[in-house]
Structure 1
Amino acid sequence: MNILHINQSDISGGAAIAAYRLHQGLLAKGIDSKLLVGEVKTSSERVQATPRKQRLENQLFRFTWRLGFNYLNLLGSFDIPQHELYKNADILNFHNLHTGYFNYLAIPSLTERKPAVFTLHDMWSFTGHCAYSYDCDRWKIG
């Protein structure tokens, strides 16, 4: 079984550390595990960077950010199905999908061919983009 973790980083931040520990635990149990991340910090051959179209994404950012469409400029996310790690994966494990490396509109195309698990490290995905709800009321407006 081949697991592909998709996260913002391999070891930078709480969610990244948790994802990396899960990755290491799977490897210890003999399950093939790899990470596709926005920011690579380790030198592990099992960790690779998500595809990016830096120039085009930077140009689009000026418009999408002003309109409140955070992360929609990240077109490289739609190239993940052509990535070797994705092709070899049996299961996808999504971790933090925010922090400027992933376009969440790519999820349907990624999960069309592969089953997926979402590990929720915070409340961002269901609160209207608040990592923790507390006094945040963005869930009312999206």
Structure 2
Amino acid sequence: MSKNGVLAKEPVSDGAVDYQRLIQLFECPVCHEYMRPPIHQCKKGHVICQKCRPKVKGICPLCKQLVANQTNLMMEKISTLIKFPCVYAPKGCDELVPLREKSHHETTCARRPVHCEYARRGCGALLPLRDMTGHVRQCHFRPA
């Protein structure tokens, strides 16, 4: 589940793995985004993402132990085997994508918010890409 409590459609499973709980293990305890390698850990094994490591100044936010210089190799390997929800899942995207494709998907996702092409003329609309065509056809800032 992401920081906003939404998980995209669950992949087909035989019930051997609780996919929702597995995905939760990859949430950074600081920013609540999904971690990607390198995944740092403290001396007790709590993990933290690369982006948040400088923010915690070497101290684990969960147990106050030192964040080690090594990464969690097992978590890094598992992260390459599973699919993660799109950041726009709360806006209706139900895609699950491997980490190596996640950034690309999110830059092309039909649910990503985009500004109206008439923003320079004063339109403040910020809508999912998939809804923008309809908006542009009837935008009040569209030239006559």
* TM-score, normalised relative to structure 1: 0.30
* TM-score, normalised relative to structure 2: 0.30
Higher-RCO chain (CA-CA 8 Å, sequence separation at least 6): 1
Greater helix percent: which structure?
1
